[in-house]
Amino acid sequence: MNPPNDQEIITDYLHHGPMTDPRSFAQLYHPLPNDVPALVKTVQGLMVHIFWAGAYQLQLTPERETEVTLRPVWRKLARILELDPSPLTQPREKEQKLVGNCRDFTVLTVSILRARGFPARSRCGFGTYFLPNHYEDHWVLEYWNEPQKRWVMVDAQLDELQQEKLKLAIDPLDMPAGVFVTGGEAWLMAREGKADPDHFGIFDYHGMDFIKGNLLRDLLALNRFEVLPWDIWGILEKPVAEMSAQELAQLDECARICQRADVPAARAFYETHPAYHAPLEWAD
């Protein structure tokens, strides 16, 4: 059997995984625009980031905050329509926007991009543009730009307000290399002494165990299965400090695969390491 070529890999990211499949809500995508900036703006008109709500003068109830636990896109779409049954092309009032986080902006945008003919994939790692000297827990997406023959990185949550608050000097629709560090890159940086593990995380959560979590989430994202930022399963239940040399070497291999976005290797690694498997029922 011949290994998949680059075009087969690119084309494969046109297809939904369990988390991005809109299921019975697929028809909602039909009226949406066909260019990436407009699609990103559409998603920003449907969602509000849970940690940025105050910046929009929005006070969330504990009940509304639980919307960040909705894993699959089809459940997000169902809730979006519960809050406001208008077409997705209609930006919501802030009170009627779905509450989410960076992962949610990413997976909804990836879902729509795939449906509109853009190969796209989620990436889990760390952003360098939120706090100085810090790698913030974060998700972004990549889509294939066919005319330019390259993967373009996009931060779908960064609307004009957030860009202004962060004094952002980069284009969130075409991010330069290095401003977002994937889970694999972060793991290798920390393991090789090139960065302090405690500079990676969010709030009071940081260190090698946190980095390991984002490494595995990125591996799964390359395999089209985007888990929640706080999901724990399999090998994540074992602290790095208690891992054997063999287990650490296995994680190093995983990190190198994710660092270079070697999709065939990422799939082969995932298929042959059951301890890395997340429960499929999470997509239900």
| Res. 5 pLDDT band, cuts 50 70 90 | low
Whether 107 is in a domain gets the answer yes
Mean pLDDT of 8-18: 96
Please give the pLDDT value at position 284. 96
Closest CA to 229 of 90, 136, 144, 147: 136
Please give the pLDDT value at position 1. 40
Mean pLDDT of 163-169: 97
* 203-254 pLDDT tens trace: 999 999 999 999 999 999 999 999 999 999 999 999 999 999 999 999 999 9
Mean pLDDT of 176-183: 98
With a CB cutoff of 8 Å and minimum separation 6, the contacts of 278 are 220, 225, 227, 231, 233, 234
Tokens 């000297």, located at residue: 133
CA torsion sign, 15 to 17 to 20 to 25? positive
| Res. 4 pLDDT band, cuts 50 70 90 | low
Specify the higher pLDDT residue, 4 or 57.
57
State the Cα angle at 5 between 16 and 220, rounded to 5°.
40
Mean pLDDT of the chain: 97
pLDDT at 16 over 80: yes
Identity at 190, one-letter amino acid code: A
Whether 27 is in a domain gets the answer yes
Question: Which domain covers residue 67, as residue numbers?
Answer: 6-283
Whether 111 is in a domain gets the answer yes
pLDDT at 190 over 80: yes
Identity at 102, one-letter amino acid code: C
What is the maximal distance between C-alpha atoms in the chain?
57
pLDDT at 18 over 70: yes
pLDDT at 2 over 60: no
User: Cα 99 to chain center, whole Å?
Assistant: 16
pLDDT at 140 over 60: yes
Coil, helix or strand at residue 75? helix
What letter does residue 93 receive in the DSSP assignment? P
* 113-126 pLDDT tens trace: 999 999 999 999 99
Tokens 């297809």, located at residue: 15
Whether 1 is in a domain gets the answer no
The runs of H, that is alpha helices, within the chain are: 6-12, 36-44, 62-65, 73-83, 102-115, 160-166, 183-191, 208-222, 245-259, 263-272
Number of domains in the chain: 1
